[in-house]
Amino acid sequence: MWGCFWIRPRLLDHLEGAGNERDRRRIAAHLSRCAACRRTFEEFRQVAALTLQHPALQPGDEFWKKFDHELDAKLNERLAHRAAGRPAVFPWPLILGRKPAWVLTSLTLIVVVVGLRLLSGPFYFQPRKAEVEVLARDMILLDELDRDNGVLSGSDEDLQADMEMLLLSDPRALEGIS
C-alpha cells in the first residue's frame, strides 16, 4: 500500500490530470481511504478553482496605449544614452586615468610617509623618556622602603624586572659590563 508521503507530492499532478493511469488509480484508491490526504486534495482543488474564477488581470486599452507610449520613450532614451557613449556606472578608473598627476602625487606622499615611519625605528611600544624616569625613581623608592622594612626581595624575577626597567630608562646602562 502506498503511504501519504508518496501520495502527497503527486496530488497536484493528480488534480491536473497528469501521470499515468496506474498511478491515478492508486492515488484515487488512497484518497478514498485517507481523510488527511483527501482534505489536502480538496483544499488544492478549491484553490485551483478560485484561480480559475479570477483569471490574470488584463487592463484596458487606455492602460496599454500609455504602456506602449512610455516603453517607446524609455527605449529611445536608453538607445540615445548608449549612442552618446556615456557609461551607466561612474567610471572611477577612467577619471583617475585622466588625472595621472594627482594619482602620482598621492602615491608618492604615501610612500614617503610610510618610509619615514619605517626609518624612525621599530613599531613596538616604547615609553617616553620622562615616563621611564618617573618609573625608575618610583622603583628605587620602593626598594629603599623594602630595605628599611627588611623585606627587600632578592628573587630572580624581581632582579630581572629591575634590569628591564634599568634598560628601559637607559639602553646603554649595561654597556661595557661583561
Contacts with other proteins, 65-104, as mask; x by CB under 8 A = --xx-xx--xx--xx--x----------------------
Cα-only R_g, the chain: 43
Residue 20 CB, nearest approach to other proteins (Å): 16
Joined grid coordinates for residue 104: 602620482
Cα(68)–Cα(31) distance, rounded to whole angstroms? 50
Least separation in angstroms between residue 71's CB and other proteins is 5
Yes or no: say if 137 and 169 are a contact pair by the CB < 8 Å rule: no
- Closer by beta carbon to other proteins, 13 or else 164: 13
Residue placing its CB nearer to other proteins in the complex, 4 or 173: 4
Q: Which of 28, 43, 141, 163 binds other proteins (CB under 8 A)?
A: 43
What values do phi and psi take at 141, rounded to 5? Answer: -60, -45
